[in-house]
Chain A
Amino acid sequence: MAEKVVGKGIKRTEDPRLIQGLAHYVDDIKLPDTLHAVFVRSIYAHARIKKVDVAAAQKTPGVVAVYTGKDISQKIGPVPCGAAIPDMKQPDHRVMATDKVYWVGHPIAVVFAENKYVARDAADKIEVDYEELPVVLDEEKAADPKSPVIHEKIGSNIAYKLTAGEGDIEAALKAADKIVRQKIYHKRLAPIAMEGRGVLARYYPGEQELTLWTSTQIPHLARTQISLMLGFPENKLRLIAPEVGGGFGSKLNVYAEEAIMAYASMQLGRPVKWIEGRRENMQGTIHGRGQVGYIEIGCKKDGTITGFRYNVFADMGSYFQLLTPAIPTLTGLMLSGCYKIPAIQMNVTACFTNKMSTDAYRGAGRPEATYVIERAMDLVAAELGMDVVEVRRKNFPEPFGAENPFKVATGLFYDSGNYQGALDKALKMADYTNLRVEQKKARAAGRLIGVGVSTYVEICAMGPSPALPAGGWESATVRIEPTCKVTILTGASPHGQGQETSFSQIAADELGVTVNDCTVIHGDTAVVQYGIGTFGSRATAVGGTAVYLALQKLKAKATGMAAHMLGVDAKTVTFDDGKFTSGGKSVTIQEVALNAHLAKNLPADMEPGLSATTFFEPKNFTFPFGTHICVVEIDPETGEIQIQRYIAVDDCGKVINPLLVHGQIHGGIVQSLGQALFEEVVYDEQGQLISGSLMDYAVPKAAQVPWMELDRTETPSPVNPMGVKGVGEAGSIGATPAIVAAVVDALAHLGVRHLDMPIKPEHVWNILKKNKAGAA
């Protein structure tokens, strides 16, 4: 009997092509006669364009066309924003700048030439005359009526104001014995997918077919939006996301460059290609986070939380990209964390600034929520002199599930959870009690050791359609071919997550075939039925469920066919290990597959073929959770932060492939580590992006990443039949507060209660120095 593979950590079927350099990314697709595009981008954060002189560029041998914003921005529809918030002010976001530039990197002109070198040289010859305007950079000051205004037509820099939450917050804070307040920064971060963006467009005028290869997480949604921007029939536009080298949310978007390349290929009658450089990527691909907020948390003397308020200024950047204004609303949804809090209120002021748009970056609004509630719990513990673990335990709900979902004061019903279980396991792994003893001893010996604990919950498997701008379902088609090879077409569009492997595992177990018999096709809108895409930790919980349900349909049909072939009643047929059996007779799935296609022996009421399609609409989100514990040691001489131990217990429901889950946890923790200690997108006071290359933007290096001690608990989700929850963002949500808490804890004896990210050695060193000076 074949071994079941769901739950097994089998190696990714994607990897051999990736590690051998045999995969095909956009830039690996070469078409004859391709023109190469290079953009001229603004070097000012805010300026009026007086003149764009392209004459010299146009005359350069090898240049085929030069477009400025004035040439094309009215011929292509605006860059779409899918999010809507009541009374939201939305600037008209054209594909290129016409009269004004709004951020360093704003595209002004584009050159198409025979090769990229000519295009680059010609772009340098384009002269832009600017008239500088005052810049708006701080999301909090931007809201001030005295601030310069970015979008004159809107009249202020406030994109929207929103109040969210439930319960009587004023009464809740009044009922508190103590109220703890803290200002908290979430700096801008660059997603830094290993592969930047890239677009290749080809138009066949005879067939009137436009094909667009683009590095995206959402091939179908992008196709719809780009067809609308171009006024081009959607069914003649084929969008292909080939191998995509990571996205982290940055490719959950529709960008100007995609529509411009499509437009140019139709105008010029030749394929056109644009491949983003890293500096362009830092300037012109969305950033994440960008909030500054004020927390107020009320508590009783015993640690019981009475209410939580978060007043936050959210940095939109100068324009909305696809989901820009929606990100802070996700923060609002998750402010309860894994605690019983009777009243919660978030007041958002979302502001335009002269910077690149913010949007979804791994976690998208939820890391902010987890960070503020986790910091708040630590502050409460410090205020009351309680242990950080005890104050958490005090406010946990009892374990809950389908029968008794956990209702929080942000309006959500959490599907299932056992927060004590994950916490207990992590504490045991860390030997927490002993850690605290060791810490005390070390401190007495002059060593600075800190322990940080984060108990997080996240909202995943996005999500029910009513809660999402463009549908929250996912699609799958499963076909059994005549030779019994299994083809899975998924509307999710994995780009590094490994669903080619995990979806094959699901199919292999359901059909009694091997993983190698299955192939997963995704990302090509001409081949795959409409789908939503991969983001919000949804691919497995929603897309995988669609695969699972399509397989059930397929099995039902195959069972009927097998019964007919065996001459028995379908009710008597059992299917196991690829064999349909009834009363000692059996027929294999291979025989059924062939019969379904030869169609010479079918029941009267049965269609030929073996294919089933499902569109799965989830009834709720899922809510994975866990506990992360971080132990750091600080060098008292240099302020250097060393992570001594990192323990993570995550609960993402049922696990299909633990190796993939570990991979996601590892990656998420590393990105958290970056945010906590190193990463920060920095614009100077003129709005110049000075962290504009990987020399200056500090992504963690392998040597800075600690060994991670991982384990999990398993609380199945009642939202889908497989009980899976999603894990793509868990690490980037759960880890940041643990790391920050550990550093703060190491300095707690000096009166430190909070430090803003990224916590650099120089900050720590300054604190130590000041303290030394004070003590001396």
Chain B
Amino acid sequence: MKIEGTEKINATRERVFDLLTDPAILQKCIPGCEQMEKIGDNQYSAKLSAGVGPVKGVFTATVSMQDLRRPDHYKLVVEGKGQPGFVKGSGELNFVDDGGLTQVQYSGDVNVGGLLASVGQRMIQGAANMMSGKFFANLENEAKSTDS
């Protein structure tokens, strides 16, 4: 499944880049994220409860950030598994200056398996869009609150 989109955040590229690579901020912004622990250089272990309709449960995931080029770009690799199945994906994030605002351009490929795939497939795209919407809304708030 392809995930892509562009979001505008009212902050500088450096600021947005820092927010998006800060595990504490990520934990706050990712819907359902209960835990985000550093396990290595730019590597984190995350626990999040997520689901699609009736298919839900707790996922444990390793998140790694690669190819970090502040403030332009990084690559995010996620591998998670839980009772409803597994999620595996990677995506590129690019940060583009847009007259003082920052455009976050993201695109990635996600594979899902297990119950998530067999029952939830049709709804995953919708659920993913909803989650990313919430995520960026949270991030925007975060940018505002910590900006001052």
Which A residues form the contact surface with B (CB < 8 A)? 43-44, 104, 124, 279, 282-283, 684, 686, 688-690, 692-693, 695-696
Contacts and interface: CB of A to CB of B under 8 A. Distances in A.
B125 interface: no
B49 interface: no
A688 B117 contact: yes
Between A43, A44, A686, the greatest number of chain B beta carbons within 10 A of the residue's beta carbon is seen for A43
A75 to B, nearest CB: 28
Contacts of B83: 124
A692 B113 contact: no
25 contacts: A43-B85, A43-B113, A43-B115, A44-B113, A104-B117, A104-B118, A282-B118, A283-B118, A686-B111, A686-B117, A688-B111, A688-B112, A688-B113, A688-B114, A688-B118, A688-B121, A689-B118, A690-B117, A690-B118, A690-B121, A692-B118, A692-B121, A695-B119, A696-B121, A696-B122
Contacts of A686: 111, 113, 117
A32 B107 CA distance: 57
Nearest to A696: B122
Interface string B92-114: 00000000000000000001111
Given A43-B86, A124-B83, A279 B118 contact: yes
Contacts of B122: 695-696
Nearest to B114: A43
Contact of A279 (B86, B111, B113, B119): B119
Interface in B21-77: none
Contacts of A282: 118
Interface residues of B, number: 13
Contacts of A283: 118
Nearest to B57: A124
Contacts of B119: 279, 692-693, 695
Contacts of B112: 688
Nearest to B1: A684
Contacts of B85: 43
Contacts of A684: 117, 121
B111 A693 contact: no
Nearest to A44: B113
Contacts of A690: 117-118, 121
B117 to A, nearest CB: 4
A693 B118 contact: yes
Contacts of B114: 43, 688
A686 B122 CA distance: 16
A736 B115 CA distance: 32
Chain A CB count within 10 A is highest, among B83, B117, B119, for: B117
A44 B119 CA distance: 15
A734 B71 CA distance: 65
A692 B117 CA distance: 8
A688 B119 CA distance: 11
Nearest to B121: A690
